[in-house]
Amino acid sequence: MPPDTLDPDVTTRPRIGWPHLRLAGRMLLALLFGGTAVLGAIFVFRQGALPLIDAWLQPDAGTLSAIRRIGILLAAVTGYWAYVRLHERRHPTELKPPLLGLPLGAAGGALMIGLPMALLFAINAYEPLLVRGASSALWGVAALIVIAATLEELVYRGLLFRVLERTIGTGIALVVQALVFAVMHLDNLTHATAGDIVRLLVSVSLLGVLWAGLFVLTRNLWVVAAHHAAWNFTILLSGLPLSGIEDWRALAPLQSRMVGPDWLTGGMFGPESSWLVILTTTAATIWLLRVAKRRGGFVAASIAPTKTAVARLP
């Protein structure tokens, strides 16, 4: 048989065709429209509404800061809502406030990071130095953590993960958005060693899969944001670094220090990069994904491989 002759019964291989490129283009446009809607809404608030509020009400610096943070969150949610309604032409059910989801999500986040941290304190990998007690400044930090966690979930799970999922399927989308999520946290490290960077990429990628998996299971962004915020706030309360951020440690009710090796304590990034936390989070993530898949939460890819016949030489 000549080399250029096709045999319909021979081995096939995937081929990228026009339908694949069209779906990929739609995916990129959806991400562009969604990102523009969210970031544009925040820009309009900060550059338009916030100066008007400042000029009209003339609030003090603390009140203006609170208005700015809450306004940014509301603007981002509004932009996301507008994108879903106008571009996807559906009701954003993922923004529906859950009844028990918020306290359950928050409790899950606090326990998932709190239990391995308690073990690390028990084996003296972390050492408590001083009990300061609660500070009124914690309320402002707690609000900032809630807002930051909600914004991250809105962008990474609500927008990036969902758009990827409906094109390339749940499984691949879990990995892709998690890697993007991890890379965006590299700026939190300064003067990092190779070991610090590796632990960060592993731990934050895993958290990206965990929170996307929780979204797949619940299909509710508020539940995931509550889990994320409670996770972060629990670390803050311990007096240890939160995702490489040292600034808030002075406000924690507990002053602590790390005395164990970096692979156990997490090093400069904090408990999230501890291999003990990575191990327990991996186990929880696997269980969560299995439950989500068993309940039919996984979505198949829209882009299916196109097969083409390959000539077989005699």
- Residues paired with 13 in a beta bridge: 308
pLDDT digits (tens, 9 = 90+) for 193-206: 888 889 999 999 99
Check if the beta carbon of residue 22 is closer than 8 Å to that of residue 30.
no
More confident residue, 26 or 207: 207
Mean pLDDT of 65-79: 95
Matching residue, tokens 């994320």: 228
> Where does residue 216 rank: exposed (0-12), middle (13-18), buried (19+ CB within 10 A)?
buried
Report pLDDT for 7: 46
Q: What is the mean pLDDT of residues 22-29?
A: 85
Task: Give me the helices (H) in the chain, please.
Answer: 18-44, 50-57, 61-83, 101-122, 137-152, 162-168, 170-183, 194-218, 221-237, 262-265, 275-294
How high does pLDDT run on average in the chain? 88
pLDDT in tens, 268-302: 899 999 999 999 999 999 999 999 999 999 998 87
Provide mean pLDDT across the span 63-74: 93
SS (H, E, C) 111-132: HHHHHHHHHHHHCCCEEEEEEC
Supply the pLDDT for residue 195: 83
The pTM for the full model equals 0.88
pLDDT of residue 303: 62
pLDDT at residue 35, rounded to an integer: 94
pLDDT in tens, 189-247: 777 788 888 999 999 999 999 999 999 999 999 999 999 999 999 999 999 999 888 88
Phi, psi of 138 (to 5 degrees): -65, -30
The mean pLDDT value for 92-105 works out to: 94
Taking CA 151 as the corner, what is the angle to CA 154 and CA 159, rounded to the nearest 5 degrees? 20
pLDDT at position 4: 44
Q: In this model, does residue 98 exceed pLDDT 60?
A: yes
